[in-house]
């Protein structure tokens, strides 16, 4: 998995070229700037900041949620497009955490803002007060599933799904929110702790899978030897 890492606010290698592509990128750059400053701007406010008409901006991003989702797409562009050639699942997960957490650090203000919008939209939706389509997150599902894929045959579907869900708790801006805001941890410590947790989760998933295989093997042998009636061990 080879990832590029630049110092710009928005990855300029992502997106279509031509007038439409440039306009879309301009809007995203200004949305990213405002989010980086802690401003949860509307599509209209971003349009004004970018010097683009509201009508044009809304053609690209009909809701604030879609605009913020696009900013996150740009921020995580190389991460989402990367494909690892490593065959070992544990190593792929370690590589993913090692190479992408610096990008979370670079875009921390934007990702924090996206988290804030997501939480706000969920609260408004539950209260029946949300007036537009909510912002939905979920990039990490595909990213983590791809990284952990070599482990799936050993973990089976249930164990694999549980591992990916567990990894999703620590893979992302939430690790920075907890470890920086509560513990005052610095970037390198945050990244090291996240990798340590990921490795521990892989260990736990593999142990569970091995324990399940051994238990299934004992049950099968017991039924074969007539030690218990068929189905008794499943009750």
Residue 74 sits in a domain whose CATH number is: 1.10.357.10
Q: Is residue 6 in a domain?
A: no
Q: What is the pTM of this model?
A: 0.82
| Residue 176, token pair as written in the block | 């920075």
Instruction: Please report, to the nearest 10 degrees, the dihedral formed by the alpha carbons of residues 105, 37, 181, 187 taken in order.
Output: 20
Distance CA 84, CA 96 (A): 9
> Computed over its alpha carbons, how large is the radius of gyration of the chain?
22
Return the pLDDT at 17: 67
Q: Is residue 8 in a domain?
A: no
Distance CA 115, CA 126 (A): 17
C-alpha atoms less than 13 angstroms from C-alpha of 103 in its C-beta half-sphere: 22
Q: Is residue 102 in a domain?
A: yes
Domain that holds residue 155: 18-234
Q: Is residue 65 in a domain?
A: yes
DSSP letter string over 150-198? GGHHHHHHHHHHHHHHHHHHHSSHHHHHHHHHTT---HHHHHHHHHHHH
Q: Is residue 204 in a domain?
A: yes
CB 27 within 8 A of CB 50: yes
Q: Is residue 171 in a domain?
A: yes
CB 183 within 8 A of CB 74: no
Q: Is residue 11 in a domain?
A: no
Tally of domains in the chain? 1
Tens-digit pLDDT profile for the chain (235 aa)?
Answer: 444 333 334 444 344 568 889 999 999 999 999 999 989 999 999 999 999 999 999 999 999 999 999 998 888 877 776 678 899 999 999 999 998 999 999 999 999 999 999 999 999 999 999 998 899 888 899 999 999 999 999 999 999 999 999 999 999 999 999 999 999 999 999 999 999 999 999 999 999 999 999 888 787 777 777 765 555 554 4
For CA atoms 206, 211, 214, 215, give the dihedral sign: negative
Q: Which residues contact 195 (CB under 8 A, 6 or more apart)?
A: 94, 97, 98, 101
Distance CA 26, CA 9 (A): 12
Q: Is residue 161 in a domain?
A: yes
């Amino acid at each position: 998995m080879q990832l590029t890492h630049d110092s710009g606010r928005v990855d300029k290698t992502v997106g279509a070229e031509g007038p439409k592509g440039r306009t879309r990128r301009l809007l995203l750059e200004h949305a990213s700037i405002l989010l980086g400053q802690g401003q949860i701007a509307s599509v209209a406010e971003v349009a004004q900041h970018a010097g683009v008409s509201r009508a044009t901006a809304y053609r690209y991003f009909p809701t604030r949620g879609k605009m913020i989702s696009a900013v996150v797409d740009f921020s995580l562009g190389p991460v989402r497009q990367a494909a690892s050639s490593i065959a070992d699942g544990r190593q792929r997960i370690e590589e993913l955490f090692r190479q992408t957490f610096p990008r979370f650090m670079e875009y921390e203000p934007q990702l924090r803002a996206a988290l804030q919008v997501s939480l706000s939209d969920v609260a408004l939706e539950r209260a029946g007060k949300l007036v537009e389509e909510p912002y939905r997150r979920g990039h990490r599902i595909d990213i983590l599933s791809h990284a952990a894929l070599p482990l799936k045959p050993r973990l089976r579907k249930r164990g694999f799904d549980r591992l990916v869900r567990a990894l999703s708790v620590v893979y992302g801006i939430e690790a920075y929110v907890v470890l920086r805001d509560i513990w005052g941890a610095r970037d390198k410590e945050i990244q090291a702790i996240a990798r340590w947790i990921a490795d521990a989760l892989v260990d736990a998933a593999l142990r569970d899978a091995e324990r399940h295989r051994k238990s299934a093997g004992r049950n099968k042998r017991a039924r074969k030897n007539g030690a218990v009636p068929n189905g008794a061990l499943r009750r």
